């Protein structure tokens, strides 16, 4: 490894900035800044010694005052945490973003076609492009959706796709989040805080705006309203205040000017959904739901759920209410099905994927399972239905006992796991104390699909704030930073 030296920077601040084989977002090599990072570093170098810390405290105070928190379950010291925020923005050039945008548009288009197909004709299954057993064994496959017509054929209206950069700087897709993707409120609040703390720097960079996201989301939801409802009543359905993303639910509802409701606030009558109000019942036409399928209707799915609305699925099937995202979309973000997405793109669009997948081993295949079991110390193993960094084994950082435990789990239920190479995804500069140090980052852009595909330029850059860690999830010690996509 080599220590970076840059003449225009305070050497003390960079003494722990080490380059290795991972792609670095700021440095091309020793003493070589990527050109688009030069003004940023020069600006930070010109600030008085304690100014960065003062602004960091101002950012933390802003998050605290806004109640921007997340919930970590199972911690004795309490569950509510201020969302960790790093001051140094991640910068993406317009040329890089153009490819990301094309790739994400292609991906959500193909996945929508895939969902329509598997719940109707099943052509891709008949032709063996995707094995039937992968789809039908998925816990998120909903037989109740078979043959049901979805408004505008849009199954996935809101998507958050996780991207990483490989050592050569290429963006690839790590996973798709199609059920109830979260984190967009952090993207928006990060930007607002950054504009307030570094207004001059922000203006000089020609950063493309993202503030329009909530209005674009509202427009997407309007476009999916049932026929004959020109002024649809739209609500956001939340599991309630104890959900880890409740801040986001309240934030988005407020920004869109729609009602935030829980299951107990809604009732169905004659296959129509109504919201209880102080002036009586009011019809609901579109539900932006942040409740998983299992819990959303106790009559159709889990009978013990108290979070949902009895009869909601029947109202949906009758075409009287639209849900975003549709029931059953989770089958397309199953981590085992992820391995087939390049083939899905080729099948429906007759195009090569713009964004590649990470190499993935399917443990239902005996040869691949044997390879994984023999190399657990080198691979990352993931449970196919988990999120938030849970249900994972990071081989190089694991103990022999942990590997033995995962080997038993894989042998007992190979369908429930996939494995991937341990990738040193890209690192970006972070303010750690008074120094800049590199930390691993990913990127979650948010994709909207209604009348057309819309992607705000940027996304949530998540940061593995623990030195050496590859886990960016907030529940596992990660944080976030603002993402600047340049306009030229």
pLDDT in tens, the chain (488 residues): 443 434 445 555 677 788 889 999 999 988 789 999 999 988 888 888 788 888 888 888 887 777 766 555 555 555 556 678 899 999 999 999 999 999 999 999 999 999 999 999 999 999 999 999 999 999 999 999 999 999 999 999 999 999 999 999 999 999 999 988 889 999 999 999 999 999 989 889 999 999 999 999 999 999 999 999 989 999 999 999 988 889 899 999 999 999 999 999 999 999 999 999 999 999 999 999 999 999 999 999 999 998 999 999 999 999 999 999 999 999 998 999 999 999 999 999 999 999 999 999 999 999 999 999 999 999 999 998 776 566 789 899 899 999 999 999 999 999 999 999 988 889 999 988 878 899 999 999 999 999 999 999 999 999 998 887 877 876 666 889 999 999 97
Q: How many CB atoms lie within 10 A of CB 80?
A: 12
Domains and CATH numbers, the chain: 359-421 (3.30.1490.270)
Contacts of 151 (CB under 8 A, 6+ apart): 224, 225, 226, 319, 322
What is the phi-psi region of residue 276: left when phi exceeds 0, alpha when psi lies from -120 to 50, beta otherwise?
beta
DSSP H helices in 257-323: 293-296, 312-317
pLDDT on residue 1: 41
pLDDT on residue 2: 42
Contacts of 224 (CB under 8 A, 6+ apart): 151, 152, 154, 157, 286, 322, 324, 450
Distance in angstroms (rounded) separating the CA atoms of residues 311 and 269: 8
Looking at the whole model, is its pTM more than 0.75? yes
Distance in angstroms (rounded) separating the CA atoms of residues 169 and 370: 31
Mapping DSSP to helix (H, G, I), strand (E, B) and coil, where does residue 459 land?
A: coil
Burial 170-207 (b: 16+ CB within 10 A, else e): ebbbbbbbbbbbbbbbbbbbbbebbbebbeebbeebeb
pLDDT on residue 463: 94
Strand locations in 358-477, DSSP E? 361-362, 379-383, 392-394, 417-421, 427-432, 435-444, 446-449, 453-455, 460-464
Residue 106 half-sphere exposure, CB side, CA atoms within 13 Å?
A: 23
Give yes or no for a cis peptide into 310 (omega within 30° of 0): no
């Amino acid at each position: 490894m080599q220590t970076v030296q840059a003449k225009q920077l305070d050497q003390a601040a960079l003494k722990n900035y080490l380059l290795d084989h991972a792609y670095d977002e700021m440095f091309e090599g020793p003493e070589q800044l990527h050109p688009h990072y030069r003004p940023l570093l020069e600006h930070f170098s010109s600030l008085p010694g304690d100014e960065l810390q003062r602004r960091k405290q101002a950012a933390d105070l802003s998050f605290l005052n806004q109640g921007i928190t997340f919930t970590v379950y199972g911690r004795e010291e309490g569950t509510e945490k201020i969302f960790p925020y790093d001051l140094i923005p991640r910068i993406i050039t317009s040329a890089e973003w153009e490819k990301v945008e094309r790739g994400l548009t292609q991906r959500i288009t193909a996945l929508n076609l895939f969902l329509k197909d598997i719940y109707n004709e099943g052509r891709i299954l008949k032709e063996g492009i995707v094995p039937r057993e992968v789809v039908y064994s998925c816990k998120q496959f909903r037989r109740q959706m078979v043959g049901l017509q979805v408004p505008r054929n849009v199954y996935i209206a809101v998507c958050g796709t996780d991207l990483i950069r490989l050592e050569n700087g290429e963006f690839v897709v790590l996973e798709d989040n199609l059920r109830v993707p979260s984190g967009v409120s952090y993207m928006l609040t990060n930007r607002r805080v950054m504009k307030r703390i570094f207004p001059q720097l922000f203006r000089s960079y020609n950063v493309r705006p993202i503030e329009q996201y909530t209005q674009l989301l509202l427009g997407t939801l309007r476009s999916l309203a049932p026929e004959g409802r020109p002024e649809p009543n739209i609500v956001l359905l939340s599991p309630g205040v104890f959900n880890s993303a409740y801040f986001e639910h309240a934030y988005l509802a407020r920004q869109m000017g729609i009602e935030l409701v829980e299951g107990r606030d809604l009732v169905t009558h004659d296959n129509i959904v109504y919201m209880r109000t102080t002036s009586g019942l009011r019809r609901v036409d579109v539900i932006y739901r942040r409740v998983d399928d299992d819990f959303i209707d106790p009559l159709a799915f889990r009978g013990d759920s108290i979070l949902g609305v009895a009869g909601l699925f029947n109202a949906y099937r009758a075409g009287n209410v639209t849900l975003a995202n549709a029931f059953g979309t989770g089958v397309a973000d199953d981590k085992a099905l992820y391995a087939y997405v390049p083939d899905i793109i080729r099948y429906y669009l007759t195009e090569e994927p713009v964004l590649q997948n990470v190499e993935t081993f399917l443990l239902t295949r005996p040869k691949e399972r044997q390879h994984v079991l023999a190399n657990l110390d080198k691979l990352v193993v993931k449970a196919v239905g988990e999120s938030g960094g849970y249900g994972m084994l990071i081989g190089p950082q694991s103990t022999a006992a942990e590997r033995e435990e995962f080997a038993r789990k894989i042998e007992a239920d190979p369908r429930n796991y996939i494995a991937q190479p341990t990738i040193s995804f890209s690192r970006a500069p972070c303010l750690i104390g008074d120094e800049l140090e590199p930390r691993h980052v990913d990127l979650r852009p948010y994709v909207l699909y209604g009348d057309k595909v819309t992607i705000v330029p940027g996304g949530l850059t998540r940061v593995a704030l623990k030195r050496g860690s590859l886990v960016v999830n907030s529940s596992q010690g990660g944080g976030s930073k603002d993402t600047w996509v340049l306009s030229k």
